[in-house]
Amino acid sequence: MSSHKPSATPGPQGSPLSDPYNFSLILGGPLYQLWSRAHLGEIKAHIRRRILVLSGICWLPLLLLCALEGSLLQGVAVPFLLDVETHVRFLVCVSLLVYAELIVHQRIRGIVSQFVERDLISPLSLPRFYDAIQSAMRWRNSIPAEVTLILIVLSMGYFLRINTFVLQSSTWYATMYQGAITLTLPGYWFFWVSNPIIQFLILRWLYRIFIWTRFLWQVSRIRLELLPTHPDRNCGLGFLGAAAYAYSPLLTAFGAQLAGFIANRIFYDAAVLTAYKPEIVLLAGFGLVLVLAPLGVFAPHIMAAKRQGLREYGALAAEYSRGFERRWLKSCDREGETLLGAADIQSLADLGNAFTVIKEIRPIPFSRDMFLQLVLASVVPFVPLLLTLFPFDVLLDRLVGVIF
C-alpha cells in the first residue's frame, strides 16, 4: 500500500476542497454554518447537543401546548402522551437522522482517501479525481440547494402531512367534525414547525446521497488501476462496501417512522400489522436501492477487469500447466528433484488460487452479510409491533423455537 498522502491543497486549483482526506458529506452547507455559529458545529463533540436541540424544538413545545389545552392524557380520542407516532418521529427518528451524520462522516472520509492510498487512480488521472472531490464539496456547500429543500417542505409538505398523518378521529393536533379537519394550537406547531424539520432532514439526506452517487459516477469515468486477483473479490474496490454500512442508522430512522405511523393506525383505527406488509417490503427495498445502487456504477469496471484477468491468467495458467506436465508427467529428467516438497507444486496451487479469486469476482462491492444487516436495520423497528399479532409468551416461544 502506498504511504504517501496528498497535501491539503492537491487539486488543480490548489483548493483544500479537493483533498480526499478532507472529504465530508456532512461538514458543509448553510445549516452546518448555522450550527458552527451556535458553537455546535463539531461533529463528534456536539452530536448530543444537536440531537437535544432539534428534538426539543420538535417535541417540547407540543408537550407544553397540549398541557395548556388539556389534551395530554384526556379530552380527545388520541391524547398527546399516547400518540406513539409523534414520540417516535421527534424523539427517535430525529435522533437517528442526526446520529447518522457522525457515522457517515467518519466512514465516507476514510473511503474516499483509499482511492489514493491503494493507488487505484493513476498519476495522470489524479487531477480528474481531485476535480470530482471539489465538485462534490461545492454541491454540498450549495446555498440554493438547501433553500430549495426548504421551499419544497414549506410549499408541498403541508398538503402531504394533512392528507397522510391525520387519523380518522379527533386528536391533540386536529379535530374532526362532519369530515372537516380543524387544527388545534399544538397542531399548528406540529404541521408548520415540527414536521417540516424532520422532512427537511430527510430531504437533505437524500440530497447527500445524490451527491455521493454523483461523485462515485464521476470517479467511475476515470481510468482505474484495478487488480483482478485482489482477495476482496471486487478488484480492490471492496472497501466501498463500508459506505453502505454507514447508512444503517438512516435506514433504521426510515423504518421507525413507518413503524410509528402503523402503530397509530393499529391502536386508533383498528388496523392490523399484516395489512401493511407491502409498505414494509417497499420500504426495505427502497433502503437497499438507496444505499447500494450508487456502488453499481463501478460494475462495468469490475466486470471488464474480471474478463481481462480470466483471459490473462488463463493463458498464464495454460503455459505453466503445460510446463508442469512436461516436467513431472511426461519426462523422466527431473534434475534429481523429488515431487515431495517441490516448489512447482506450490506455484501451481498459488496460480489456481489466483484464478479462483478472479472467477469469484462480484460486480458490486457488497456481501450477503452487508445485505442482511441493511435489511435488519430497516425492519427492526417493526419487531415491537409483532406483539399486536401474538401475545408475548407465544412470540417468545416461536423465537426460541427458531433459534434452538
- Cβ contact 197:95 at 8 Å: no
Instruction: Tell me what pLDDT residue 22 has.
Output: 84
Residues 355-376 have a mean pLDDT of 89
Residues in CB range of 163: below 8 A, 6 or more apart? none
Query: CA 384, CA 258: separation in Å to the nearest integer?
Result: 13
Residues 42-70 have a mean pLDDT of 93
Query: CA 145, CA 154: separation in Å to the nearest integer?
Result: 14
Instruction: Tell me what pLDDT residue 11 has.
Output: 43
Highest mean pLDDT: which range of 30-44, 49-63, 326-340: 49-63
Residue 258 has pLDDT above 60, yes or no: yes
User: How much of the chain exceeds pLDDT 90, in percent?
Assistant: 53
Residue 398 has pLDDT above 80, yes or no: no
Highest mean pLDDT: which range of 3-17, 138-152, 159-173, 382-396: 138-152
* Out of 92-96, 126-130, 174-178, 196-200, least confident range: 174-178
Residue 213 has pLDDT above 90, yes or no: yes
Alpha helices in 118-194 (DSSP H): 126-140, 143-164, 185-189
Model confidence band, residue 20 (pLDDT cutoffs 50, 70, 90): confident
Instruction: Tell me what pLDDT residue 3 has.
Output: 41
Instruction: Tell me what pLDDT residue 8 has.
Output: 38
pTM: 0.86
Query: CA 72, CA 77: separation in Å to the nearest integer?
Result: 11
Instruction: Tell me what pLDDT residue 334 has.
Output: 58
Q: 309 vs 231, 281, 298, CA distance in Å?
A: 13, 38, 16
Query: CA 77, CA 167: separation in Å to the nearest integer?
Result: 10
* Out of 35-44, 71-80, 117-126, 170-179, least confident range: 170-179
